[in-house]
A and B are shown apart, each in its own frame.
Chain A
């Protein structure tokens, strides 16, 4: 609030920062769930939920593979980026088949459009995302090309 508009705004829609905090392991460590009964792997996490395959309720934390292969790429040129993500437009967004069979959506960084062919090998990296509603920077996974 600035000096001109000191009143408290009663309804300013924003995400509660707890919503970011609750998913810190998923976002920092690419942590999902593994079903103790049937061994199925899940991302996003399903602890406290059930296993969609066997309907068992016992799931344990599972750290997904950090290596994978690009399936498809979108060069985002839609014209209106999400708040906090517009400064690096056009962004490269893709689906990635991780080596353990899980598939994630991620932004690709440190790569040029032409390098991101389907089948290219990528690795998880931890990057700065956007500011949370508190003003703190939110960090989380992105993927970069394996160049070695």
Chain B
């Protein structure tokens, strides 16, 4: 490993809410405050120790908007600064990046990253529901961001010659992990036949299931780690953007990295991963496990490829040969992923992955524990690969 020249920021603690299809009896403030308290308790910190906060939310499901001050109030942090970010499923990653920078700069020593996904806050009309990436030319013409995901999967299948067998193998492994995770929402053991079914039920079984989630990460400086004798878990994170309209995922002339791309490849993630890995002083071959954003299995495969963990186009083969399993080259989505653990959009699709990596690095993942886990990657996208976030969590000094 090369010598680190970037500032160091540590993950002091993480927490997520327990699995629940509905948390309608709670306000989103109560829901998020529970996760915040759980993470603070775990680190032996009080909210008084926290200097800066950020909250990720989805404006499609919380009408208030502008949640920074409300979140600060909910957890008793007034008058400290509190950022709010709405960036779909990678919002938690962006909040983490913001807080990371505050701590890395030396301006603050401890920060809290909250995420909230609670789709029962209001009964949305269709226009506020499964919206698109470039509304006038997708959603208003009848395509949601889910169509983007499906077209990207079709693109991957076509370009690299895969069928639904590869998706079924990926999903099967996710269910295997999910059945061994108390926090997973959809604990199923579907047959190969069910997983391969060419109908809506089969499609749903091979793709994400939605869930409520409140998440919390606590980021601290090295000084706090030493003072409080916290585990030395170094966290690095970066993100990149890509054109929001899916047509512009083909041969985009606006940047050289995207010139020969199509929806099956992930140049934005590659750029984000290059930056994260360089900061973290690790190479793709050092990554022992990964949590990726698999709203569909093919998108999960693209994520492993985008981070350089496996060669571009090999993801389907990798899944079918057991590469994502506990004994494989890179155990992937060991929490069950979006397919079994559940997809929680802005609240947790990044933070819950960090939480799983946190458990794995501390050796607390039970039956799904990756042996001697030291370096773990997490990735999420927001708005179908128009925003890509990549992180590395590692045990410092092995």
Residues on A lying within 8 angstroms of B by beta carbon are 12-15, 19-20, 22-23, 26-27, 40, 43-44, 52-53, 71-74, 76-80, 82-85, 91, 93-95, 97, 101-107, 118, 129-130, 138, 140
Known: A104-B247, A105-B246. A44 touches B136 (CB 8 A): yes
Task: List residues 125-160 of chain B with CB under 8 A from any CB of chain A.
Answer: 125-128, 130, 134-144, 146-147, 150-151, 154-155, 158
Distance between Cα atoms of A94 and B135 in the complex (Å): 17
Q: Please tell me which one of the listed residues B140, B150, B247, B254 contacts residue A78 in the complex, with CB atoms under 8 A apart.
A: B150
Task: List residues 83-140 of chain B with CB under 8 A from any CB of chain A.
Answer: 124-128, 130, 134-140
Residue of B nearest to A94 (CB): B151
- Subset of 9 A-B contacts with CB under 8 Å: A12-B125, A13-B125, A23-B137, A26-B136, A44-B134, A74-B150, A77-B203, A95-B250, A105-B143
The answer to the question of B229 belonging to the interface, with a C-beta cut-off of 8 Å to chain A, is no
Q: Please tell me which one of the listed residues B126, B151, B158 contacts residue A105 in the complex, with CB atoms under 8 A apart.
A: B151
Is B204's CB under 8 angstroms from A79's CB?
yes
The answer to the question of B245 belonging to the interface, with a C-beta cut-off of 8 Å to chain A, is yes
Interface size class of B (residues with CB under 8 A): 35 or more
Residues on B lying within 8 angstroms of A by beta carbon are 124-128, 130, 134-144, 146-147, 150-151, 154-155, 158, 199-200, 203-204, 243, 245-255, 262-263
Is B137's CB under 8 angstroms from A13's CB?
no
Distance between Cα atoms of A84 and B146 in the complex (Å): 16
Is A118's CB under 8 angstroms from B158's CB?
yes
Distance between Cα atoms of A80 and B145 in the complex (Å): 13
**Residues on B with beta carbons closer than 8 Å to the beta carbon of A23:** 136-137, 140
**Residues on A with beta carbons closer than 8 Å to the beta carbon of B262:** 71
A138 to chain B, nearest CB (A): 8
Is A129's CB under 8 angstroms from B141's CB?
yes
Is B146's CB under 8 angstroms from A78's CB?
yes
Is B158's CB under 8 angstroms from A76's CB?
no
Is B246's CB under 8 angstroms from A95's CB?
yes
